[in-house]
A and B are shown apart, each in its own frame.
Chain A
Amino acid sequence: MKNLKKIFILTLAAGALYSCNDAYEIIQPGELNYDNAFENVSDLNLALNEVYDNVIAEDIIAFTSVVTDETAIADQNGGQNLDEYRFQIFATNDYASDFWLDNYTTIMYANRILEKADGVELDSTDATTLQDDIDERLRIVSEARALRAYSHFQLLSYFSTDLKNDSALGVILMDHVSTKEEQLPRSTNGEVFNFINEDLDFAQENASLLVGNGPSQITPRAINALRARISAYRGLYEEAKAYAVLAITGSTGLATTEAAYKQIWSDVSLTEVIWGLERPSGKTGIVSNWFFNSATYAGGPFLDMGRNLYAELTEDSNDYRGRTGVFIGATSIIAEDYATVFDYKNSDVLIIAKYPGVSGLLLNNRVKAIRLPEMYYIKAEAEVAAGDLVAARNTLQEIKTARAIVKANAVQIPAFENATQAWKAILDERRIELCYEGHRYIDLKRLGTLAGVNGVQRYERDCTPYSACELLVTDYRFTLPIPVEELNGNRVIREQQNPGY
C-alpha cells in the first residue's frame, strides 16, 4: 500500500505539472494565413486564377433568358424559374443576389492581388529574371484590373437605372480590400465609369504583356471589345465605333458555314470568340440553366425556346441558325398545329441547343462572354446614331450574309426608311444572333424604346397560362433590385434602393 501511495502522489504531481497548452494552442494542419499567401509572383498567378474563376456569367444568362422572351416553360418544369418567368422580381431575388455577390467577389479577389502585388518577392538572381518577374507581375496586375473593371461594368449594367446618365446612381465603387465594418453607398455612374476607365487604361498601357494570352483570358482585343460595349451602353457611340472597329480588325473573322458555326458552340473552334470563359469538368454547366441532364428532349428540359424566337429563327430558310441542330435541338418536339394543339406545353417542346454540351460533360460549355458579331452590331448602332442608315444596313448585312447557307441567296435587308426601323432591325438581329448569351434583357431596356418595341415579345400560348405576357421596356423591373442581403449588411445603401422595389 505504501507503494500505491507513492504512485498516487507521483501521479498527482505529474498531473499538476503537466503542460496542458497543447489542448488549446492549436493551429489546424495545413493552414495558410492570408498574410503569408502572397510570397512571390507565382502566388499572384494562383490568386489570379481565382479571380478568373469567379467571373460567372451563367446566372445572368439564365435570368435574361427567363425574364425576357427567349424561353418558355417546358414539359419537365417542376416549378423551376416560375417566379422570374412571371416577372415576380423582388429585392430577395436569388439572381440579383448572386449576381451582385459574384461580381463583388471577383472585385474582392482582384483587390487582394492589387493589395499584395507590391509586397511579393521578385527573383533577383540576375537582371533578366528580375525583369521577367516585374513583367509577369505587371501582366497579372493588368488582368486583375481589367477583370475588376469588367465586374464593375457588369454590375452597372443591371443595377443602374440609366447607363446613359452619368449622375444616376451606379453601384458601390470598390477600389480596395474592404473591411467588415465598411459600409459604402452607391457611387454615381460617372464615378464608376471613370474608375473603370482608369483600370482599362492601365491594362491597355500594358497591352504588350497581354498579347500572349489566349481568348480564355484578358487580351488587348477583349479590352477593346469590352470598351466598345461599355461605350455603346453609355450612348457614347463615336468611341464605341472606334473600339468596335479595333476589336474587329485583325480578328479571325466571322464563321461563314453552318459547320464552322456549330463548332463555335460545341467548343471545337474559337472563331468569333473574343473572350470565352472555360468551363471544364467540375465547374458550373451553362446547359443546366434550362435542362436537368443534357440539352436534349430526353435531358429533362424545364425551359424551352420561346415560340416567337423560334419563329424568327426559322423565318429565313436560307439562314443556318434556324436549321435544326444549330440553335434548335434535333430532339425538339415541334407541333405543326401549335396554335391549336390541346396540350401545348407537352406537345411543343423546342429544345434550346445553342449550348450542346461537350463530350463527357453534357451540361458544360464555354461561356462566350464577348463574341465578334456583337462588335458588328455595336458598329451598326453607332452608324444609326450618327444618322448613317445605309452604313448600318450594310454592317448588319455582313452578318446576315455570313449566316446564309447559300451566300448568293442571302436575304437582303431592305434599306431603312428611318432610324426607328434601323434600331428595330438591330434589336431583331441581336435577338437572333445573340440569343441565350445574356443580351436580350439589356437590349430591350436600352434599344426597345428607340426601336418602337414596347416590351417582351412572348408568344401568347407561352405566357397566357402564367399571366406573364406583358413587361414593358420602361418597367422598373428592367433594373435589378439591390439585393436584400446587401441592405442587411450595409445601412447606408438602404436609402438607395432602385425605384419600384
Chain B
Amino acid sequence: MKSKFTWIFTLLLAFFIQFSFAQEKTVTGVVNDATGMPIPGVTVRVQGSNAQGVQTDFDGKFSILASQGQKLIFSYIGMQEQVVTVGAANTIPTVALQEGGIELKTVAIEGYRTTAKKRSNVAVTTITSETLEGRPNVSFVQSLQGQVPGLNISTGSGSPGSAKTSVIIRGLGSLNGNTEPLYVIDGVPSNLVNFRSINGNDIESISVLKDAGATSVYGNRGANGVIIVKTKRGSFDSGLKVRYSGVTGFTTMQKENYNLMTGQQLLTLERLKGAGTGATGGENGAMTDAEIAAAPNTYWKDYFFQTGISQDHSLSFTQGSKNTNSFISLGYFEQEGIVPSTDIKRISIRSNFTGKSTNDKFNYTTNLYAGYSKRNQLEQETRTDIDGNVLQNPLQGMLTSLPYLDPAAYQNGQQLFDEFGAASFALTPYMLMDYIDNIYNRYEEVKLLMNGSASYKLTNDLTFGVTGGIDYTQNTRVFARLPQSYLAIVAATAYPENPGIETQSTTRDFSFNGNSRLNYNKVFNDKHSIDASVMTEYFKAHYQGNSFTATGLNSKTYAPGAGTGYIPFNTATPNLYQRTVSAAKYEGGLFSYFGMFDYDYDSKYGIGASVRRDASFRFTDENQWATFWSVSARWNIDKENFMQNSIFTELKLRGSIGTSGNQNIGGESIYDGRSVTRTLYSSLTGYNNSNSIGLPTSTTTGYLSIGNSDAQWETTLQSNIGIDFVIGKRLRGTFDAYRKYTKDLFLGVPISASNGAYQYEGNSGNMENKGLEALLAYDVIKNEDFTLTLTANGSYNENKLKNLPGGDQAFGDLQINANDEVVYQYFMVKYAGVNPSNGNSLYYDANGALTENPTLDDRVKTGKSFIPKYQGGFGFNADYKGFYATAQFTFVTDVYRVDSDYANLMDPTSIGTFQLSEDINRAWTPDNTTTDVPSINATNSATDAALSDRFLRDSSYLRLKYASIGYNVPSTFLEKTFLTSVRVYGQAENFITWTKWRGFDAESNGASTYGGYPTPRVFSFGVDLSF
C-alpha cells in the first residue's frame, strides 16, 4: 500500500504548476429571489477555485475573496445557478435567482463528489427535500415512487414500518443476490435495506445514480445502482432558525372490487350447492327462504380493518457562526395501520455539525442520528408460510369469513375453545378476532448512524480527506401467544393450566466504513480543469443475534417481554414447558482502493474514468479481488458557436460504459452466503434428537449446502447514452438509453440428487436489461403571482435471461425462468373458458386443442411477469399568490400478478366453508350456458388456480400517488409576529387508483397477493412554521 501511495503522490506533485493569481479583494453583495426577498444559504463560490465558497446570511448578504475578472457562481437548491463576473467595484449588483422547478438543477451529486450539473458526465436524478417533507410515509423511499425514471419502487406490505419495499434501478439485476441499490448516507455506504427508523424530514436531497460512469466507482457494491442521501445542514454566518412541521392524518384501506356476498346471498348459494349451513342449517335440513332472510349479515371488513391515525412532528434548529454551523432536529412519528393491532411509533434525533478553520483549509463535519421505533405487526409480515392460513392470518379475515356468522359468538379465547373445541375452518373469523387481540408481536428498533469527515487542503489544489461512519441497528422482538389466546389454549391440551408461549429475540448489526482520499483539483489556463482522486475504503460488518422461546406461561404473572410467568422446565415431563435457545454471529468485510479522474475543457468537453480494485471476504483465491472500471464523456453542445441562435439554452450529450459488481450474491444482506466457498459440517439435531454432524442448509437453494470454491461476484457491464437539455427557459429534460448485462448470476445450479441436493450455489447464467428513460419539466406559466410547472417521467425496461444452466428453470409450479425471456414469467395452462355443455372449465393443451383435464405438460410460457416493463409518473406544481397545489401520478404497466384471493372467492369447492364473490352467481347452469364462470359443480375447478392462468391478472395501474394543496402565508402578514414563514396544507397519499386489479392493492412486489397487507390511503393535514 505504502509504495503505491508514494508513487501516486509523486505523480501528482509533478503536475503542480503554481500560477500566480491577481490581487484578491473582498467582494460583497446581496442575493434575492424572484420576488425580491433575500435568500439565506445561497452558496457563492469562485469559478475554478477549490474553496468551498461562502453562504449568504439571513439577509441574503455575502462576502467572498475574489479578483476582478473572476466569475462568481451562485447556487441554491431549487434555484437556477447564476454566474456573475467580478468587476472593478467591491460590491456586485443584487443577484436575483430564478426558481428552478422540482429538480436540483445546478449540482449533480455523484459518487464521492459533487459536480456542477453541466459538467457531469453521468446519469443521475436528484430529488430534493420539498418532495419528501411531510409525506406520511414511514420510509422516505416510498415517497420517491414515480419521480425518478428507471427507479421502480413497489411495496409489498402496507404494515407500518414494513421492510417489504423493493427498490430496483433499471431492472432486476440478480436472481438470488441483492437487487437493491447501495445507499450512501452522508458519504457512508450503508448496508441497511429498510428505513423505518430514519426520519425523512431530515433529508436534504436524494440522488439516484444509474449508469456505470456513476456507479462503477462503488465497485462490487454498485451493480444495482446507488442512492445517495444527504441530510440537511446549517450554513455559516446565519442566525438561529427554528422550524416546526406537524402532520396529522388518518390511514384507510383502499377499495377492493371483489363483490363479496351478503349472508343471504351466500346461504342461498350454499343451499343450491348442497354444502354448508345453507344446505343443512335449517330446521328441516336446507334453510328456507325465511330462515335465510333472518340470518345475520356481517361486514367482516369492520372487524379486520380500521381507520388508523397518523402523526408526524418535527422540530429543527439551524444556525451558523463564522466557522461552524449546525442542524439539529427532533422527530416524532406515529402511524396506526389499517389492520387493528398494527402500528409504529418512532422518535429520532439528528445533529449535523460542520466546522472549518478560518483559512478554509480544514473542514470537518459530524452527523449523528439516533432513531428508536416500536412497532406491532402481524406475524404474517415475516412468515410467508401463513399467508394463506385462514386461521392465523387476519388479513384473510375479511375475504374468507362467512358473512352469516355472528361476531358476538366470540367473547374470548377460552370461551371459544370451550364452545367450539379445536381449530377448524368454521371458526375462521372468531379465531382471527382472537388472533388480533391476543397474539403479541412487538419489535423495537434502535438505529444509530454516526459519521464524521474531515478534509485538509495540503495545497491549494491537493486535499486530503477521511470519512468514517458506523451504522448500528438493534432489533428486539417479543412474540407471544398470550395465555388467554385461543391458539395458546388449543395447543396446550397437555398443559391446560399454563397455556402460551413467548419468544424473545434480539439482533445487533454493526458496520464500520472508513474512507481516506487524496484529491487533486486544478484549473490550467482557465480552460483545462482536472479533478483526480485516489481513495481507499475499508468496510467491516458484525452481526449477532440470539433468541429463546419459553413454552407455558402463568397467566397471573405473565407480562410480554418481562420474563415473568415462565413455567420451569421439569425433567419429569420432558415434552411440556420446553425451552429453546439459539444464537448467531456473522462477520463480513470488504476492502478497496480506487481512483477517479475527470478532465474538463472549458465546460464544453469532459471525460472521466474510474478504476477500482475490490476485495471481498466472501470469495477465495483468484476470485477474492476484482477490478471494476468505467469511462464517461460529455459534450456540452450548447457551448458551441454554431448553437448560438438555437432554441436550446442547454444541450448536453453524454455517454458512459463500465462495470460494477454485486458481491452480496446470497441475498440482500452482506451475511447471506458468507461461507459459500467452503463445504462445512455443522452440529445438528440428529436422529432421536441426539447430536449429529451434517451439512448446513443453503438459503439460496433451500437444499443442503455443498461448498463451491469457484463462487464469485456477479458483474454488470453497463453502457449508457443520454441527453440533458433546456429549451428556452421553460422546458427542460433528460433522455437516457442503456443496456445492462449481468454476467455470472449466482443461482442454484442444478445437480444430480446423488449429491444430497438438487442444486448447488454457483455462478451461471446471464441477464440483460435494456431500456429508455425520459424526464421532462415544463413551466407553463411563470410570473410573479402564478407559476405552473408540469412534470413527467417514464421508463421502459426489457429484461431477458441468458445462458441459464440446463435451460428453462421452473420456479415453483407456475413460474419459469427461460432464456431470452423475462425473468420469473408465468408458466401456466391457458384457460379457455367454460364448456357450454357441462359447465366445466376448458383449457388449451400444449397443442392448442381444448381439454378439460390439462396436465403440467400443457403449461406454456406467457411472457408475463410481475416485473413491470413501463413505469413512471407525471404531475404538476402550481402556485398562485402563496396558494399551491401539487399532484403526482404514478403508473406501471405490463405487469401481471396472480389474484389468489379472487381465485379463492371464485372456488366452488369453498362453498359451505368460506366466503365467495357475487360473481359466482353468474356460474354456468343448464339454463345459463354462455358465461365466463364455470358451474359450481364443475369437476375440474381445482385446476383453475393450480395450473391455469384464469386468475392471472393485469395489475397495471395509474395512481394519484400524492396530492397536496396548501397556502404559504405571505411574509407581509407575518411581519409583526415572531414567525418568518407559515405554511398550511392538506395532502393525500394513494388517493385514487385506476386499475383492472380487483384486490386490495394493485401495487405489490410479489407475483401473487394472498392475504397481503395493502398499502393504505393516507389523508393528512400539515402545518409548517419557521421563526
Pick from B464, B538, B575, B806: contact of A489, CB below 8 A: B806
B961 to chain A, nearest CB (A): 37
* Residues in B whose Cβ lies below 8 Å from that of A100: 753
Q: How far is the CA of A423 from the CA of B752 in the complex (A)?
A: 39
* Residues in A whose Cβ lies below 8 Å from that of B754: 104, 107-108, 172, 174, 178, 182, 184
| Closest A residue to B495 using CB positions | A360
* Residues in B whose Cβ lies below 8 Å from that of A50: 684, 686-687, 692-694
Interface size on A, residues (CB 8 A): 95
Per-position 1/0 for B656-678, Cβ under 8 A of A: 00000000000000000011001
* Residues in A whose Cβ lies below 8 Å from that of B691: 46, 49
B591 at the interface (CB under 8 A from A): yes
B751 at the interface (CB under 8 A from A): yes
Q: How far is the CA of A195 from the CA of B750 in the complex (A)?
A: 27
Contact assessment for A293 and B422 in the assembled complex, using a CB-CB cutoff below 8 Å: yes
Contact assessment for B755 and A26 in the assembled complex, using a CB-CB cutoff below 8 Å: no
Q: A33-B678, A278-B688, A360-B494 are in contact. Are A47 and B425 (CB under 8 A)?
A: no
Q: A25-B617, A46-B686, A100-B753 are in contact. Are A298 and B516 (CB under 8 A)?
A: no
* Residues in A whose Cβ lies below 8 Å from that of B939: 465-467
Contact assessment for B756 and A180 in the assembled complex, using a CB-CB cutoff below 8 Å: no
B809 to chain A, nearest CB (A): 7
* Residues in B whose Cβ lies below 8 Å from that of A360: 494-495, 573, 575-576
* Residues in B whose Cβ lies below 8 Å from that of A342: 274, 279-280, 285-286
Pick from B280, B576, B674, B687: contact of A52, CB below 8 A: B687
| Closest B residue to A501 using CB positions | B857
Per-position 1/0 for A71-89, Cβ under 8 A of B: 0000010110011001010
B362 at the interface (CB under 8 A from A): yes
| Closest A residue to B456 using CB positions | A8
B813 at the interface (CB under 8 A from A): yes
| Closest A residue to B270 using CB positions | A343
Contact assessment for B756 and A108 in the assembled complex, using a CB-CB cutoff below 8 Å: yes
B22 to chain A, nearest CB (A): 26
B578 at the interface (CB under 8 A from A): yes
Q: How far is the CA of A92 from the CA of B585 in the complex (A)?
A: 37
Interface size on B, residues (CB 8 A): 101
Instruction: Give residues of chain A (1-54) contacting chain B, Cβ–Cβ below 8 Å.
Output: 1, 4-5, 8, 11-13, 15-18, 20-26, 28-34, 37, 43, 46-53
* Residues in B whose Cβ lies below 8 Å from that of A47: 692-694
Contact assessment for A362 and B675 in the assembled complex, using a CB-CB cutoff below 8 Å: no
| Closest B residue to A183 using CB positions | B752
B125 to chain A, nearest CB (A): 32
Q: From B422, B493, B674, name the one whose CB has the most chain A CB atoms within 10 angstroms.
A: B422
B632 at the interface (CB under 8 A from A): no
A280 at the interface (CB under 8 A from B): yes
Contact assessment for B690 and A49 in the assembled complex, using a CB-CB cutoff below 8 Å: yes
Per-position 1/0 for A83-114, Cβ under 8 A of B: 10010101110000100110011011100000
Pick from A15, A48, A104: contact of B536, CB below 8 A: A15
Q: From B285, B588, B678, B684, name the one whose CB has the most chain A CB atoms within 10 angstroms.
A: B678
Contact assessment for A46 and B693 in the assembled complex, using a CB-CB cutoff below 8 Å: yes
* Residues in A whose Cβ lies below 8 Å from that of B404: none
Contact assessment for B362 and A76 in the assembled complex, using a CB-CB cutoff below 8 Å: no
Q: How far is the CA of A229 from the CA of B940 in the complex (A)?
A: 39
Contact assessment for A282 and B685 in the assembled complex, using a CB-CB cutoff below 8 Å: yes
B501 at the interface (CB under 8 A from A): no
A361 to chain B, nearest CB (A): 6
Pick from A33, A83, A105: contact of B946, CB below 8 A: A83
Q: A31-B680, A49-B691, A50-B684 are in contact. Are A22 and B589 (CB under 8 A)?
A: yes
B35 at the interface (CB under 8 A from A): no
B493 to chain A, nearest CB (A): 7
Contact assessment for B694 and A109 in the assembled complex, using a CB-CB cutoff below 8 Å: yes
Per-position 1/0 for B935-967, Cβ under 8 A of A: 000011010001000000000000000000000
B855 at the interface (CB under 8 A from A): yes
A324 at the interface (CB under 8 A from B): no
Q: A296-B422, A343-B280 are in contact. Are A24 and B589 (CB under 8 A)?
A: yes
Contact assessment for B693 and A28 in the assembled complex, using a CB-CB cutoff below 8 Å: no
| Closest B residue to A155 using CB positions | B753
Q: How far is the CA of A258 from the CA of B820 in the complex (A)?
A: 65
| Closest B residue to A493 using CB positions | B752
Q: How far is the CA of A91 from the CA of B859 in the complex (A)?
A: 13
Pick from B495, B536, B752, B813: contact of A490, CB below 8 A: B752
* 18 sampled A-B residue pairs with Cβ under 8 A: A16-B1, A23-B589, A23-B617, A31-B675, A34-B681, A49-B686, A51-B687, A101-B703, A101-B756, A172-B752, A178-B754, A294-B422, A346-B275, A346-B912, A360-B576, A467-B939, A485-B758, A489-B753
Which 7 pairs between the two chains have the least Cβ-Cβ distance? A360-B575, A298-B422, A49-B686, A489-B750, A108-B756, A52-B687, A23-B589
Residues of A at the B interface (CB closer than 8 Å) are 1, 4-5, 8, 11-13, 15-18, 20-26, 28-34, 37, 43, 46-53, 76, 78-79, 82-83, 86, 88, 90-92, 97, 100-101, 104-105, 107-109, 172, 174, 178-180, 182-184, 216, 278, 280-283, 292-294, 296, 298-300, 342-343, 345-346, 358-362, 465-467, 483-486, 488-491, 493
